[in-house]
Structure 1
Amino acid sequence: MSNYDHDPGRVDWLDLGPDPDEGRKPADPRRRYLWYGAAAGLVVVALLLTQTQHGTNRAATSPRSPSATGTSSAQSRTLSSSPVSSGSFVDPPPTSVSASPGGLSGGLTTGARLAPAKVTNLGHPLLDVPADWELFAWGPDVVVRIQLALGRITTTAVPVSGRNAPVVFLVGSDRVLVRSLDDTTGYVVRDGKRAAELPLSLQHGAWMLPGPDQQHLWLDLPGTEQYVLALLTLDGSPTGVTIEVPAGTGVQGPDGAGYLLLAGIGGVYDVRPGSVHRITTGVLLAGGPTRWLTVECDDSLSCANVVIDRRSGARHSLDTPVYSLAPNSGTISPDGRTAAMLLLHDGISSGGIHLLDLDSGADRSIDVTPPGGENQMSPQLVWSPDSRWLFVTDAGGRVMIINRATGVAKPLGTRLPPLTQLALRHGAG
């Protein structure tokens, strides 16, 4: 008979055998309330943890979504548009842009929506150079495009702080790519446009290096049995060209000509598709379009700076002191005459800038203190195409221009947010 057919007034008993608690001492009823209290406490703790985790997730994910809604931090305040002597940001900033308590120089951040690019015309050139020379700079949460001959500055908010991890800063023919390696999200800033998220195909990998032209880049591919860097377009489309990284070696950085440097057993190698060339058995200090600067030691540990011609392989030593330099931290001028080098002060931070004549060995110390730290993966020292000027950021975040002929360093001459990395584009069209 089913339960639906049985009489409601009837009681059925099911005998399960002897009572297992028969003869035992009666349980203290207070223990039952202790268990109830413990269970209730666990529920409360679980609810608190859930609320905390939910709040943490919201705080961690909301800045990454350009479409997320919400207001800016209570600690930020509206940008000041007060004028400065060499030009001012005369247009009021968009409401979605905010600044730290340091004002404009404190760096830009974004609110619910990434802000549009902001253009400032100074009304005078910043440097007497060709019109197609454009200096790009990155600082926490901002990308700046400086058209030197036109005196035009374009500032774009980019929510990549880079305070805890290296930042990739790569300039292409019509855009800038920025990505912090502590997060898979990066941003692309097309000329004159607001920042947008990088294509998914560019949101991975530990390396993003300049390609052989301004339309391509190298990116390491995940999930492959052999460690490989692939040549991609700036949109992330594959070209089918790859460079394998052999076991026992590692990527040291770009070679200055659109290909890769590998460091491993036996020295430092310049690697191209289907071609490997050993540069030195020592340490590579700086590179440029025509020359390498290395430090090499003989069997008795007598070390010297050695200049190597990239085309012929000809070598000559310099009668100069061997400084403490980070590998590949310097850069050689396009004409091959001068190496600009960042000297290490305590093994990490920079102790100063030196200009080394690669023919005579003459060494000049420049009165500029560059920013320290290891969170940059792009050059801090940038030569002009004619080798006349060296651009660098100092410890205060200013852009400094060094005249190679005189060794004199002067600030750029206009107010900018604090900046740390530089790149120069020319002939982009």
Structure 2
Amino acid sequence: MYNYKLMLAGLCTLLIAACTHSDAETQSQSVSSAASPVKTTLAQTDDGYTILRNGEPYFIKGAGGRTRLALLAKSGANSLRTWDTDNAKAILDEAHKHGLTVMLGLRLGHERHGFDYSDKDAVAKQKAEVRKQVLKYKDHPALLTWGIGNEVDLFYTNKDVWFAVQDIAAMIKKLDPNHLITTVTAGIDKEKLELVLTRVPDIDYLSINIYGGLESLPQDLMDMGYDGPYVVTEWGPTGHWQVERTDWDVPIEQTSTQKAASYRSRYEGGIQGAPGRALGSYAFLWGQKQETTPTWYGVFTEAGYPNEVVDSLYHNWNGEWPEVRAPSIQNFTINGKQATDSIHVQAAESMTAKLTLKEYQDDGTTIRWEVLPESTDIKAGGDPEARPKPVEGLIVDARDGTLTLTAPTAPGGYRLFAYALSGSGKVATANIPFYLDEK
């Protein structure tokens, strides 16, 4: 016989639980829909310029990228940058979850890709699309600033682009009084500076992408006659267009150890070295990409392991090193020669590579080796590139940082990559170009 009292009590419990769950869900939706923007302004004081967010000084400690945001926040960052609004809602939500703000990029057409800033219809259509994006995301509490375009000045000839940027900036100022507005240039010189300042008056500060040369940026801007506010929106290793090249004209990449040192010195000189003018920065790249090589700009490997640069960024943002550090590279040679020696080999020649490391904790290190043909899919401005396919079957023996391998047989340029992975999951990377001569 059924115990009706017990059954009735159970039904009541289920109903209460269902109602409670429904109330919680409704409350969550209400909180989401009631989320309001955080007021952000630019203030000028006796000490210079500062960002005020919700009335409090806010110095940007950021990186460009949209993944691994928990680690970004844990490393001491407070902001991230995107180049477009792709998947923006999810990125803004995830950033907010980790206490990060977002410089949200608004993609504009580039002259080098065929966009014509003399075409009034195309410019108007682009502005209308930007308007939709601004209205969609302007009230999100993680939003910090709008980035109108990225390097629209790279390899351009039509200076009318700045009028289009100004038209958009003026529109955003009316649509969204709660956030800052900027546009991003590829480096800076006096002519470009004057064009931006005179043609785009509605931006709040300059945003500059710069790699080698960041150390002198504060003085360079002063020499151009500008003592106003700026943010460095991309910076990092020495660019592939700025480094020493081999005698067959390919760029020589810094090791991750050399890059990590650059990230510290450039931050100190170009960002910390301009208090009251530098409002902060976004390091490049909090992610991984193929650009000249698979390791040049990303601070993670393709497998997702953080390299030494992440430790340097932690040091920049916190003033101390993380408890667990990546290995460092002390020396890397092929046949006793450095990358700068322009190494030539013959087909099927026996080669010996040696990698010497410094390890910061006794957690064991594994070295992975890879040979790639020199990339021929070189683009400009960070446009997507194809990764070369590795050359298999060359490794003869690998132990204790020493590799014996057989040179490829097809003439041309190659690179030998070394990935030194610690037991704690941090990595050091390096590569050496070499050239296989025709017989």
**TM-score, normalisation: structure 2:** 0.25
Greater share of strand: 1
Higher helix share: 2
Higher Rg? 1
